[in-house]
Amino acid sequence: MTRWSACALVASMLAVPSWASAQWGGFVDVSADREVARYDFEGAAGSNENYYDGDFGDFDGDGRIDRAIISRYGLLWNAGEGIFVPVSSQRDATTRPNSRPSLTGYAFGDEARIGNDAVQWVDLDGDGDLDVVQGGNGEPFVVQMNRGGRFTVTQRLSASAVQIVTTDLERDGDADLLVACWFAGGPADFTVFVNDGRGELTDETAARGLDIGARQIIGLASGDVDGDGDFDVLAVSREAGQLWIFSNDGAGSFTRREVDVAGRFRVTSGFAQTLSLGDIDGDGDLDAIMATDDYVGSSSVVGHLAFVNDGSGGFAEEAGSRFVVAGGVTGRLVGANGKLLDVDYDGDLDFLAFTDLAGPPLNFQLYLNDGDGVFTWSREGVPAFGAGRPSSVGADADVADLNGDGTYDVWVGIGGGQVTHLENTWRDPSGLPADVPRDVRVEGAEGGAITLSWSPPPFAATARHYIVHRSLAAGRERRDRERLRVVGLTAFEDEGFSAPLGERSASALLDDAVSWRDGRVQFRDEDIEPGVRYFYSVSHVGPENAESAPSGEVSGQVSAPSGADERAPRLQIVSPTTESWASSVRLVVTHADASGIDAASLSLTLDVDAAGAPAGTNLADRASVRQGDVTIAWVSGLPVGPVELVARVADVAGNVAESRRTFAVVVEPGAAPSLSASGSPASGA
């Protein structure tokens, strides 16, 4: 449950305004309960008080969203219920960064020669966890690879950065990067980094037709805006006063179209997170909303811009007819940090904007969408917080499920002050978390495949793909299931990269095993063994790479062929992974067979000595073995260096399967290590 006091919980339940739906009662400021004073930005003691930028991502795979912050603290670990704890080399505001050891090895800031103006989580090497890239104005652009929650610098590149956007230029299945920098008095730069698939980045800016660094880029996003199946690039040039649409030719090279912006950009800089892509009017294509600190565009009541897509990548700026502000405001509402989010979960994208140039109620603006792309400013449901701080540097408003309840909240960071947590009070009437896929079922099990289908979560999204998890035994927790397949247009969506899987975008799917039928996603699993029962669950991935809780479990089995069993058993090492690095590891091996497993044949051996277990010891003898599942909770005391686990098992017909997994221990074993073993048919150890 969310970390509420009893009084706060009762008050929030009683204070639902009359205008709200039964499900949505607005936002609640829970900053005090979330102990945000652990990572304040007041004063200059210890390090830079400027906030600059941050990004959310679950870097350690524990199911809770964490936070990278670029100029102070570096890395915030979500300890649960939205309580964040500094875990890098700087634990408080009184000590300098990188001045003490850090278990994560995460480095940041000037002291480590790492740019401190922009940060982005992204899986660069395709191993399933989030790596991190960081940049600054004139400082090195740095790549740190993640290995089981520990970070190592692998590249230092030349590029200034205050904005970093992920994309996939050639749709070759790896993450490329778009990097921009402009602010008054700083460098003007724009770089395209192309990934070789292993996480090595190469500057290919000129070759891709995107040599636009001198044109003062203050807004940047990527997505398929013309519906041709590849990912285009949108950039806002302050110098030209235009939105530029770079159409991808499918091979990662671009041609440009322009849309003029009325007025002149004076205040907005690249530091702000300005440009968002999303379908604001429900017609199936990606529109663009730009938050600004300037009096620009066709509206007389806001300085924000609404670029509406005609379906083929042609945009018209329509803020004058898309924003409604009623009563009591002189001039225009502005705020250069913006996000599209279905805040009230009614099936359309609303708009949030934040500025640190004013106090409440003008600093945090909520615009509710009527479903047709018309946004009305709402003061209700928005708590008052903060104050105008025109001398501060750096502010942002980010969307993430901070407390793990399945509903997207808002994080507001500001230089010189404390972070604000705005908890979204919406709850799904079904009682399910809002972001979990609905009605997962097996549609068929024949022809050498098992076909699953599910319905999307019932809200609008700027980012949406899915992960299918599979196991050979029922009831396993997520860490003990195979991460079978990413289902979507890309695995790399983030706040600047919008590629939600839906009815229209499904035509761009490159995976023949995935389809869209009657409002449902279908996935065909062809990697199966006849006669073996498989157990599946599906999770949803939305903004900030945030993975939902898994759906309920379903199972399917293709009938075994008649005649003698000549097939080897299905055998899989789930843990350790190749990313494991500790001297104590958790072993999980699953196995199944149509004719049945010979339990006595199971063998699990290591090629090095463990605590109380010399190399070659059959560790299966120390585990509780269940049909289709074996768990050895912990093996301790492993030496530093490579370790190989070998698993073997036979079925009752005598067919043998073998699987091997090598990982590298990098931490010395502690004193008095021991080996403990246990097993369960449900969650293991």
CATH code of the domain in which 456 resides:
2.60.40.10
pLDDT above 80 for 270: yes
Question: For position 424, what pLDDT does the model report?
Answer: 97
Q: Where are the beta strands (DSSP E) in 560-640?
A: 570-575, 585-592, 597-606, 624-626, 629-635
pLDDT band of residue 628 (cuts 50, 70, 90) is low
Which segment of 104-118, 191-205, 308-322, 615-629 scores lowest on mean pLDDT?
615-629
Query: Is residue 611 a contact partner of residue 675, using CB atoms and an 8 Å limit?
Result: yes
For residues 175 and 315, membership in a common domain is answered with: no
Q: Which residue has the higher pLDDT, 329 or 315?
A: 315
Cis peptide bond upstream of 437, omega within 30: no
For residues 396 and 461, membership in a common domain is answered with: no
For residues 76 and 193, membership in a common domain is answered with: yes
Q: For residue 4, tell me if it sits in a domain.
A: no
Instruction: With CA atoms as reference, report the closest residue to 247 among 343, 313, 165, 175.
Output: 313
pLDDT above 90 for 198: yes
Cα distances from 657 to residues 285, 598, 602, 649, in angstroms, run 49, 12, 10, 5
Are β-strands 189-195 and 176-181 bridged in parallel, bridged antiparallel, or unpaired? antiparallel
For residues 544 and 657, membership in a common domain is answered with: no
Question: For position 448, what pLDDT does the model report?
Answer: 93
Q: For residue 663, tell me if it sits in a domain.
A: yes
Q: For residue 562, tell me if it sits in a domain.
A: no
pLDDT above 80 for 97: no
Query: Is residue 307 a contact partner of residue 430, using CB atoms and an 8 Å limit?
Result: no
Question: For position 618, what pLDDT does the model report?
Answer: 92
For residues 401 and 456, membership in a common domain is answered with: no
For residues 332 and 419, membership in a common domain is answered with: yes
Q: Which domain holds residue 112?
A: 59-90+97-214
Q: Which residue has the higher pLDDT, 200 or 41?
A: 200
Q: For residue 46, tell me if it sits in a domain.
A: no
Cβ count near 605 (within 10 Å): 16
For residues 361 and 502, membership in a common domain is answered with: no
Q: What is the distance between the alpha carbons of residues 582 and 574, in angstroms, rounded to a whole number?
A: 16
Q: Which two tokens stand for residue 159?
A: 């590029």
Cβ count near 380 (within 10 Å): 12
Question: For position 49, what pLDDT does the model report?
Answer: 62
Q: For residue 42, tell me if it sits in a domain.
A: no
Q: For residue 32, tell me if it sits in a domain.
A: no
DSSP bridge partners of 121: 132
pLDDT above 80 for 80: yes
For residues 370 and 478, membership in a common domain is answered with: no
| Average pLDDT, rounded, for the chain | 88
Give the tens place of pLDDT for each residue, 356-408: 888 899 999 999 999 999 999 999 899 999 888 765 567 889 999 999 999 99
Q: How many domains does the chain have?
A: 4
% of the chain residues with pLDDT over 90: 67
For residues 466 and 322, membership in a common domain is answered with: no
pLDDT band of residue 587 (cuts 50, 70, 90) is confident
| Mean pLDDT to the nearest integer, 208-234 | 96
Question: For position 671, what pLDDT does the model report?
Answer: 38
Give the tens place of pLDDT for each residue, 459-487: 999 999 999 999 988 888 888 899 999 99
pLDDT above 60 for 450: yes
Cβ count near 104 (within 10 Å): 18
pTM of the model: 0.91
Q: For residue 241, tell me if it sits in a domain.
A: no
For residues 298 and 407, membership in a common domain is answered with: yes
Cβ count near 376 (within 10 Å): 14
Question: For position 160, what pLDDT does the model report?
Answer: 94
Q: For residue 332, tell me if it sits in a domain.
A: yes
**What counts of helices (H) and strands (E) characterise the chain?**
2, 45
Question: For position 16, what pLDDT does the model report?
Answer: 35
pLDDT band of residue 627 (cuts 50, 70, 90) is low
pLDDT above 70 for 153: yes
Q: Which of 426, 456, 473 is the last residue of a domain?
A: 426
CATH number of the domain where residue 620 is located: 2.60.40
Q: What is the distance between the alpha carbons of residues 410 and 419, in angstroms, rounded to a whole number?
A: 11
Q: Which of 368, 394, 426 is the last residue of a domain?
A: 426
Question: For position 683, what pLDDT does the model report?
Answer: 34
Cα distances from 620 to residues 573, 588, 647, in angstroms, run 13, 11, 9
For residues 407 and 311, membership in a common domain is answered with: yes
Q: Which of 172, 198, 214 is the last residue of a domain?
A: 214
Q: What is the distance between the alpha carbons of residues 532 and 560, in angstroms, rounded to a whole number?
A: 8
Measured in whole angstroms, the distance separating CA 317 from the mean position of its chain's CA atoms is 30
Question: For position 10, what pLDDT does the model report?
Answer: 29
For residues 322 and 351, membership in a common domain is answered with: yes
